[in-house]
Amino acid sequence: MYGGLEAGGTKFVCIIGTGPDDIVDVLRIDVGSPDGTLESALAFFQRAIASGVHLEGFGIASFGPLELRPGHPHYGSITNTPKPGWSGTDLIGRFVETLGVPLGFDTDVNAAALAEGRWGGARSIDAWIYLTLGTGIGGGAVVDGRLVHGRGHPEMGHISIQRRSGDRFDGICPFHGDCFEGLASGPALEARYGRRAETLTGQERMAAVELVGYYLAVGARSLTYALAPERIVVGGGLGLMDGVIDAARATLDLQLGGYPGLPEHRAASFLVPAELGAMAGPTGALILAEAAAR
Protein backbone atom coordinates (compact mmCIF):
# COMPACT_ATOMS: atom_id res chain seq x y z
CA MET A 1 0.00 0.00 0.00
CA TYR A 2 1.27 3.46 -0.93
CA GLY A 3 0.42 7.03 -0.04
CA GLY A 4 0.41 9.83 -2.57
CA LEU A 5 -0.11 13.57 -2.65
CA GLU A 6 -0.86 15.59 -5.74
CA ALA A 7 -0.07 19.16 -4.75
CA GLY A 8 -1.93 21.29 -7.28
CA GLY A 9 -2.28 25.01 -7.58
CA THR A 10 -5.90 25.10 -6.40
CA LYS A 11 -6.33 21.78 -4.59
CA PHE A 12 -4.31 19.02 -2.96
CA VAL A 13 -5.40 15.41 -3.51
CA CYS A 14 -4.35 12.87 -0.88
CA ILE A 15 -4.62 9.22 -1.92
CA ILE A 16 -3.92 5.78 -0.46
CA GLY A 17 -3.84 2.69 -2.67
CA THR A 18 -1.85 1.03 -5.43
CA GLY A 19 -3.51 2.38 -8.59
CA PRO A 20 -6.75 3.63 -10.14
CA ASP A 21 -8.51 0.31 -9.54
CA ASP A 22 -7.30 -0.01 -5.95
CA ILE A 23 -7.92 3.25 -4.08
CA VAL A 24 -8.49 2.80 -0.36
CA ASP A 25 -9.08 6.43 0.53
CA VAL A 26 -8.89 9.87 -1.06
CA LEU A 27 -9.27 13.42 0.20
CA ARG A 28 -9.35 16.73 -1.67
CA ILE A 29 -8.15 19.87 0.13
CA ASP A 30 -8.64 23.42 -1.12
CA VAL A 31 -5.27 25.19 -1.18
CA GLY A 32 -4.76 27.95 1.38
CA SER A 33 -1.56 28.92 3.13
CA PRO A 34 1.40 26.53 2.77
CA ASP A 35 1.49 25.58 6.45
CA GLY A 36 -2.23 25.03 6.79
CA THR A 37 -2.57 23.09 3.54
CA LEU A 38 0.40 20.81 4.24
CA GLU A 39 -0.73 20.17 7.82
CA SER A 40 -4.19 19.14 6.59
CA ALA A 41 -2.64 16.74 4.10
CA LEU A 42 -0.28 15.28 6.69
CA ALA A 43 -3.15 14.80 9.14
CA PHE A 44 -4.99 12.66 6.57
CA PHE A 45 -2.10 10.21 6.37
CA GLN A 46 -1.54 10.25 10.12
CA ARG A 47 -5.18 9.25 10.65
CA ALA A 48 -4.83 6.43 8.15
CA ILE A 49 -1.69 5.08 9.82
CA ALA A 50 -3.34 5.34 13.24
CA SER A 51 -6.23 3.22 11.91
CA GLY A 52 -3.82 0.45 10.87
CA VAL A 53 -2.83 1.33 7.30
CA HIS A 54 0.80 0.43 6.59
CA LEU A 55 2.47 2.54 3.89
CA GLU A 56 5.43 1.05 2.04
CA GLY A 57 6.26 4.37 0.40
CA PHE A 58 5.01 7.88 -0.17
CA GLY A 59 5.01 10.06 -3.31
CA ILE A 60 4.55 13.79 -3.82
CA ALA A 61 3.63 15.11 -7.26
CA SER A 62 3.60 18.89 -7.14
CA PHE A 63 3.10 22.01 -9.17
CA GLY A 64 6.38 23.79 -9.76
CA PRO A 65 8.90 24.87 -10.41
CA LEU A 66 10.62 22.42 -8.06
CA GLU A 67 14.11 21.68 -6.83
CA LEU A 68 14.49 18.01 -7.78
CA ARG A 69 18.23 17.55 -7.33
CA PRO A 70 18.96 15.29 -4.33
CA GLY A 71 21.73 16.77 -2.23
CA HIS A 72 20.82 20.34 -3.12
CA PRO A 73 20.21 22.49 -0.02
CA HIS A 74 16.66 23.20 -1.20
CA TYR A 75 15.81 19.72 -2.50
CA GLY A 76 12.11 19.06 -2.06
CA SER A 77 11.05 22.71 -2.26
CA ILE A 78 9.00 24.84 -4.61
CA THR A 79 11.28 27.48 -6.11
CA ASN A 80 10.19 30.65 -7.90
CA THR A 81 6.49 30.05 -8.41
CA PRO A 82 3.98 32.72 -9.43
CA LYS A 83 1.60 31.33 -6.78
CA PRO A 84 1.62 33.92 -3.97
CA GLY A 85 3.21 32.75 -0.72
CA TRP A 86 4.45 29.40 -1.98
CA SER A 87 7.95 30.22 -3.27
CA GLY A 88 10.53 28.46 -1.11
CA THR A 89 8.01 26.10 0.51
CA ASP A 90 9.55 22.83 1.72
CA LEU A 91 7.11 20.20 0.50
CA ILE A 92 8.79 17.01 1.67
CA GLY A 93 10.35 17.84 5.06
CA ARG A 94 7.42 17.25 7.38
CA PHE A 95 6.31 14.11 5.49
CA VAL A 96 9.80 12.57 5.72
CA GLU A 97 10.01 13.34 9.43
CA THR A 98 6.50 12.19 10.34
CA LEU A 99 5.76 9.23 8.05
CA GLY A 100 9.23 7.66 8.15
CA VAL A 101 8.87 5.83 4.81
CA PRO A 102 10.76 6.15 1.49
CA LEU A 103 9.59 9.23 -0.38
CA GLY A 104 9.45 9.93 -4.13
CA PHE A 105 9.21 13.49 -5.43
CA ASP A 106 8.56 14.95 -8.86
CA THR A 107 6.33 17.36 -10.74
CA ASP A 108 2.60 16.74 -11.01
CA VAL A 109 2.81 16.51 -14.79
CA ASN A 110 5.71 14.05 -14.69
CA ALA A 111 3.75 11.85 -12.32
CA ALA A 112 0.66 12.12 -14.53
CA ALA A 113 2.79 11.13 -17.54
CA LEU A 114 3.84 7.96 -15.71
CA ALA A 115 0.26 7.14 -14.76
CA GLU A 116 -1.02 7.60 -18.31
CA GLY A 117 1.78 5.34 -19.49
CA ARG A 118 0.90 2.55 -17.07
CA TRP A 119 -2.91 2.76 -17.00
CA GLY A 120 -4.09 5.39 -19.47
CA GLY A 121 -3.68 6.90 -22.89
CA ALA A 122 0.00 6.06 -23.44
CA ARG A 123 -0.05 2.32 -22.74
CA SER A 124 2.35 0.30 -24.94
CA ILE A 125 4.08 3.50 -26.14
CA ASP A 126 7.85 4.02 -25.77
CA ALA A 127 7.98 7.83 -26.04
CA TRP A 128 5.17 10.19 -25.12
CA ILE A 129 4.33 13.62 -23.72
CA TYR A 130 1.66 14.41 -21.18
CA LEU A 131 0.33 17.98 -21.40
CA THR A 132 -2.10 19.55 -18.97
CA LEU A 133 -4.05 22.74 -19.70
CA GLY A 134 -5.81 24.19 -16.70
CA THR A 135 -4.86 26.65 -13.97
CA GLY A 136 -1.42 26.44 -15.55
CA ILE A 137 0.05 24.65 -18.53
CA GLY A 138 2.73 22.04 -18.02
CA GLY A 139 4.07 18.85 -19.46
CA GLY A 140 6.18 15.80 -18.81
CA ALA A 141 8.03 13.65 -21.32
CA VAL A 142 8.83 9.96 -21.09
CA VAL A 143 11.40 8.26 -23.34
CA ASP A 144 12.00 4.51 -23.13
CA GLY A 145 10.02 4.43 -19.90
CA ARG A 146 12.10 7.11 -18.18
CA LEU A 147 11.10 10.65 -17.36
CA VAL A 148 13.12 13.37 -19.05
CA HIS A 149 15.09 15.34 -16.47
CA GLY A 150 18.02 17.69 -16.82
CA ARG A 151 19.03 20.83 -15.02
CA GLY A 152 15.65 21.33 -13.45
CA HIS A 153 12.62 19.82 -15.17
CA PRO A 154 10.78 20.57 -18.42
CA GLU A 155 8.66 23.73 -18.39
CA MET A 156 6.53 23.14 -21.46
CA GLY A 157 3.99 25.77 -20.50
CA HIS A 158 6.59 28.50 -20.78
CA ILE A 159 7.75 27.86 -24.34
CA SER A 160 7.34 30.72 -26.80
CA ILE A 161 4.57 30.12 -29.31
CA GLN A 162 3.39 31.87 -32.44
CA ARG A 163 0.43 34.13 -31.77
CA ARG A 164 -2.83 33.59 -33.54
CA SER A 165 -3.44 36.21 -36.19
CA GLY A 166 -5.26 39.17 -34.66
CA ASP A 167 -4.72 38.10 -31.05
CA ARG A 168 -3.59 41.23 -29.20
CA PHE A 169 -3.99 39.86 -25.67
CA ASP A 170 -0.89 40.74 -23.65
CA GLY A 171 -0.76 37.43 -21.77
CA ILE A 172 -0.84 36.86 -18.02
CA CYS A 173 2.43 35.07 -17.26
CA PRO A 174 4.32 37.22 -14.70
CA PHE A 175 7.64 36.01 -16.12
CA HIS A 176 7.09 35.91 -19.90
CA GLY A 177 3.76 37.56 -20.66
CA ASP A 178 2.62 35.79 -23.80
CA CYS A 179 4.17 32.32 -23.45
CA PHE A 180 2.00 29.20 -23.94
CA GLU A 181 0.64 29.43 -20.39
CA GLY A 182 0.30 33.19 -20.58
CA LEU A 183 -2.00 32.98 -23.60
CA ALA A 184 -4.00 29.79 -23.17
CA SER A 185 -4.27 28.76 -19.49
CA GLY A 186 -7.43 29.01 -17.39
CA PRO A 187 -6.44 32.35 -15.86
CA ALA A 188 -5.61 33.65 -19.34
CA LEU A 189 -9.11 32.82 -20.56
CA GLU A 190 -10.62 34.38 -17.45
CA ALA A 191 -8.67 37.56 -18.14
CA ARG A 192 -9.83 37.53 -21.77
CA TYR A 193 -13.55 36.93 -21.10
CA GLY A 194 -14.02 38.23 -17.58
CA ARG A 195 -15.15 34.87 -16.16
CA ARG A 196 -13.97 31.30 -15.83
CA ALA A 197 -13.89 29.12 -18.94
CA GLU A 198 -16.37 26.55 -17.59
CA THR A 199 -19.03 29.29 -17.27
CA LEU A 200 -18.78 30.41 -20.89
CA THR A 201 -21.71 29.65 -23.18
CA GLY A 202 -22.76 30.12 -26.78
CA GLN A 203 -20.48 32.01 -29.13
CA GLU A 204 -18.01 32.89 -26.39
CA ARG A 205 -17.54 29.23 -25.50
CA MET A 206 -17.07 28.29 -29.15
CA ALA A 207 -14.50 31.06 -29.55
CA ALA A 208 -12.65 29.95 -26.42
CA VAL A 209 -12.55 26.33 -27.62
CA GLU A 210 -11.12 27.40 -30.98
CA LEU A 211 -8.56 29.63 -29.28
CA VAL A 212 -7.34 26.99 -26.83
CA GLY A 213 -7.32 24.38 -29.59
CA TYR A 214 -5.21 26.65 -31.77
CA TYR A 215 -2.62 27.30 -29.08
CA LEU A 216 -2.57 23.63 -28.07
CA ALA A 217 -1.74 22.78 -31.68
CA VAL A 218 1.01 25.42 -31.84
CA GLY A 219 2.53 24.12 -28.61
CA ALA A 220 2.22 20.53 -29.82
CA ARG A 221 4.03 21.43 -33.03
CA SER A 222 7.05 22.76 -31.14
CA LEU A 223 7.11 19.77 -28.80
CA THR A 224 6.70 17.33 -31.70
CA TYR A 225 9.72 18.81 -33.45
CA ALA A 226 11.81 19.01 -30.27
CA LEU A 227 11.11 15.59 -28.73
CA ALA A 228 9.58 13.41 -31.49
CA PRO A 229 6.96 11.75 -29.27
CA GLU A 230 4.89 8.83 -30.48
CA ARG A 231 1.87 10.33 -28.75
CA ILE A 232 0.78 13.47 -26.92
CA VAL A 233 -1.73 12.89 -24.12
CA VAL A 234 -3.75 15.94 -23.09
CA GLY A 235 -5.32 16.48 -19.66
CA GLY A 236 -6.53 19.31 -17.44
CA GLY A 237 -9.86 21.08 -17.28
CA LEU A 238 -9.23 23.14 -20.41
CA GLY A 239 -7.49 20.38 -22.32
CA LEU A 240 -10.46 18.06 -21.81
CA MET A 241 -13.11 20.71 -22.52
CA ASP A 242 -15.44 19.48 -25.28
CA GLY A 243 -14.10 20.36 -28.70
CA VAL A 244 -10.59 21.47 -27.71
CA ILE A 245 -8.71 18.36 -28.82
CA ASP A 246 -10.70 18.14 -32.08
CA ALA A 247 -9.86 21.79 -32.80
CA ALA A 248 -6.21 21.14 -32.00
CA ARG A 249 -6.03 18.08 -34.26
CA ALA A 250 -7.37 20.04 -37.22
CA THR A 251 -4.94 22.90 -36.61
CA LEU A 252 -1.90 20.71 -35.87
CA ASP A 253 -1.88 19.29 -39.39
CA LEU A 254 -1.81 22.83 -40.78
CA GLN A 255 0.87 23.85 -38.29
CA LEU A 256 3.16 21.00 -39.32
CA GLY A 257 2.72 22.03 -42.95
CA GLY A 258 3.57 18.61 -44.31
CA TYR A 259 6.93 18.45 -42.50
CA PRO A 260 8.30 15.90 -41.76
CA GLY A 261 5.31 14.32 -43.49
CA LEU A 262 4.69 11.42 -41.12
CA PRO A 263 1.16 10.00 -41.48
CA GLU A 264 1.18 9.18 -37.76
CA HIS A 265 1.01 12.89 -36.96
CA ARG A 266 -2.32 13.12 -38.78
CA ALA A 267 -3.81 10.10 -37.01
CA ALA A 268 -6.38 10.53 -34.24
CA SER A 269 -4.10 8.38 -32.05
CA PHE A 270 -1.33 11.02 -31.98
CA LEU A 271 -3.07 13.74 -29.95
CA VAL A 272 -5.40 12.06 -27.45
CA PRO A 273 -7.31 12.88 -24.25
CA ALA A 274 -5.97 11.64 -20.93
CA GLU A 275 -7.87 8.50 -19.97
CA LEU A 276 -7.34 8.94 -16.23
CA GLY A 277 -8.68 12.49 -16.19
CA ALA A 278 -8.23 14.22 -12.85
CA MET A 279 -6.79 11.06 -11.29
CA ALA A 280 -3.66 11.03 -13.47
CA GLY A 281 -1.66 13.15 -11.01
CA PRO A 282 -2.76 11.41 -7.79
CA THR A 283 -2.23 7.90 -9.17
CA GLY A 284 1.08 9.06 -10.60
CA ALA A 285 2.09 10.00 -7.06
CA LEU A 286 1.50 6.35 -6.13
CA ILE A 287 3.97 5.34 -8.85
CA LEU A 288 6.53 7.73 -7.34
CA ALA A 289 5.90 6.08 -3.96
CA GLU A 290 6.30 2.61 -5.42
CA ALA A 291 9.60 3.55 -7.07
CA ALA A 292 10.91 5.05 -3.83
CA ALA A 293 10.05 1.87 -1.90
CA ARG A 294 12.04 -0.42 -4.20
CA dihedral 211, 214, 215, 217 (to 10 degrees): 160
CB atoms within 10 A of CB 134: 21
Q: What is the pLDDT of residue 83?
A: 86
The burial of 66, by beta-carbon neighbours within 10 Å (0-12 exposed, 13-18 middle, 19 or more buried), is given as: buried
Q: What is the pLDDT of residue 152?
A: 80
pTM value surpassing 0.75: yes
Which amino acid type is present at position 276?
Answer: L
Paired sense of beta strands 137-143 and 57-62, if any: unpaired
Query: Cβ distance 17 to 2 under 8 Å?
Result: yes
Task: Give the C-alpha separation, 17 to 20, whole Å.
Answer: 8
CB atoms within 10 A of CB 44: 19
Q: What is the pLDDT of residue 82?
A: 82
In which band, very low, low, confident or very high, does the pLDDT at 151 lie, cut at 50, 70 and 90?
confident
